[in-house]
Amino acid sequence: MAPFVPSKILVVGGTGTIGQYITASLLRAKPEFQQVVLFTSPGTAHTKAALLDKWRADGLSVIVGDLTSEVDVTAAYEGVDTVISAVGRGGLLVQLELLRLAEASPSVKWFLPSEYGTDIEHNTDKSPHERPHQLKLKVRNYIREHLKRVKVTYVVTGPYFDMWVYPMPDAEKAGGFVVEEKDAYVIGEGDGKVGFCTMWDVGKFVVATLQHPEESFGKALKVQSFVVTPNEVVAEYEKQTGSKWNVIETPLEDIRALEAKLWEEGNPRATGTTLRRIWAEGGTLYVQNDNELLALKPEDLESLEVGVKKALSGGYRADVF
Ligand SMILES: NC(=O)c1ccc[n+]([C@@H]2O[C@H](COP(=O)([O-])OP(=O)(O)OC[C@H]3O[C@@H](n4cnc5c(N)ncnc54)[C@H](OP(=O)(O)O)[C@@H]3O)[C@@H](O)[C@H]2O)c1
């Protein structure tokens, strides 16, 4: 049998924070794929009309519909062989039905669920109990129990460097850089390594995954742009700004206490604080990542230097697709 080559790709959640990088990267690589289709909601089709028009000119097909409608999703799956989901946290469980319909579809062969974060099965003692992991674990469990025919790949990126550099309001201590004040918040002594991905590299890794189906089927691919300590990031900020920064260290126990308080208050920053604590504890470190399996070398990816340069010149919020 001829090896599987993705040809008609459907993206859901492709207008979101990370989905935009994935959609834009697929369009850049489009000559490789026969068709790239975006499924989007009527609300987003309205609010992001200019972006969708630009993407249409770049070769994107757009379907407007309701992601929770069996009729709409079944119609969108017609002729599609690969589904990429980048739905937001609020939509993670919508994927159970998307997966059920993919399994029932005559054409869908491969599904990449919305992950693009920490490896939720990094270790058996801690990861399964982390609160932000619960919905993605439910999706993985559903896949184990119900998907027999459709292949699945999880693209596990660790934290987005572009976002990690911004401190979260109410939880600044959990990490980040305030350029105006030259304040750098680090957890502990800032010397624990963290594996980062930049947001454009997430798109690159998804495209590379599609270029390596056989190597990727059934795997949680751990991909990283660079692995550095927060202190190395501080040093890069100091180099690029030509000035000394104030490093504010917060012990892990204080971050755990902050985390508990935010969860108790129902503060939306709780998720981010827990994730930052997991990353600071080494939750993104592997004996080996899967960059090589996808044939991506350091020179193909963004570096710490590039990441800081972009952060200092407006950051991801200034990105244009
Ligand atoms: N590693 C990190 O640092 C990091 C940071 C942020 C996010 N992530 C991960 O990246 C993935 C995507 O997150 P995101 O922040 O990019 O998503 P987002 O911007 O919140 O949402 C992405 C899109 O999902 C679609 N969607 C459909 N139903 C939805 C629902 N019920 N709730 C929310 N969105 C819905 C919407 O697109 P349409 O309107 O076009 O249908 C929306 O624009 C998630 O798995 C998240 O955990 C990782």
pLDDT at residue 126 in the model: 84
Active site residue 244: no
Closest residue by CA, ligand 1 atom 10: 116
Q: Which domains does the chain have, with CATH numbers?
A: 8-158+197-224+286-297 (3.40.50.720), 162-193+228-280 (no CATH)
Q: Is there an atom of ligand 1 within 6 Å of 20 CB? A: no
State the burial class of residue 71 (Cβ atoms within 10 Å of its Cβ: 0-12, 13-18, 19+).
Answer: exposed
pLDDT of residue 258: 97
**Are 63 and 39 spatial neighbours (Cβ–Cβ below 8 Å)?**
yes
Q: Is the CB of 116 under 6 A from ligand 1?
A: yes
Residue 194 structure tokens: 């963290």
Distance 211 CA to ligand 1 centre (A): 24
Ligand 1 pocket residue status of 157, Cβ below 6 Å: yes
What confidence score (pLDDT) does residue 57 get? Answer: 97
**The pLDDT of residue 242:** 98
Length, in residues, of the chain: 321
Cα–Cα distance, 245 to 15 (Å, whole number): 36
Give percent of the chain with pLDDT exceeding 70: 100
Give percent above pLDDT 90 in the chain: 95
Determine contact, residues 274/131, Cβ cutoff 8 Å: yes
**What is the crossing angle of helices 19-28 and 49-57, to 10°?**
20
Which atom, in ligand 1's list, is nearest to the CA of 136?
45
Calpha distance 212→217 (Å, rounded): 9
Determine contact, residues 221/205, Cβ cutoff 8 Å.
Answer: yes
Contact indicator for 266, 189 with CB cutoff of 8 Å: no
- Average pLDDT, integer, range 66-86: 98
Instruction: Tell me if residue 277 falls in helix, strand or coil.
Output: helix
What would the pLDDT profile of 10-52 be if each residue is shown by its tens digit? 999 999 999 999 999 999 998 899 999 999 999 999 999 999 9
> How many other CB atoms are there within 10 angstroms of residue 265's CB atom?
11
Say whether pLDDT at 2 is over 90. no
Q: 2 or 193: whose pLDDT is higher? A: 193
> What letter would DSSP give residue 29?
T
204-251 pLDDT, tens digit per residue, is 999 999 999 999 999 999 999 999 999 999 999 999 999 999 999 999
Which residue puts its alpha carbon closest to atom 21 of ligand 1? Answer: 88
Of the candidates 8, 54, 126, 136, the residue annotated as catalytic is 136
State whether the beta carbon of 94 lies less than 6 angstroms from ligand 1: yes
Banded model confidence at residue 282, pLDDT cuts 50, 70, 90: very high
pTM for this entry = 0.97
CA 164 to chain centre: 12
pLDDT at residue 1 tops 80: no
Which pLDDT tens digit goes with each residue over 94-140? 999 999 999 999 999 999 999 999 999 988 788 889 999 999 999 99
- Among 10, 15, 17, residue to substitute to test ligand 1 (most atoms within 8 Å of Cβ): 17
Give the C-alpha distances (Å, rounded to integers) separating 62 from 3, 12, 36, 54: 28, 11, 9, 11
DSSP 98-112: HHHHHHH-SS--EEE
Residue 170 has what pLDDT? 87
> Number of C-alpha atoms within 13 angstroms, CB side, residue 55?
30
- Residue 153: the pLDDT is 98
Mean pLDDT within 305-315: 97
- The CB-side HSE value for 115 (13 A sphere, CA atoms) comes to 26
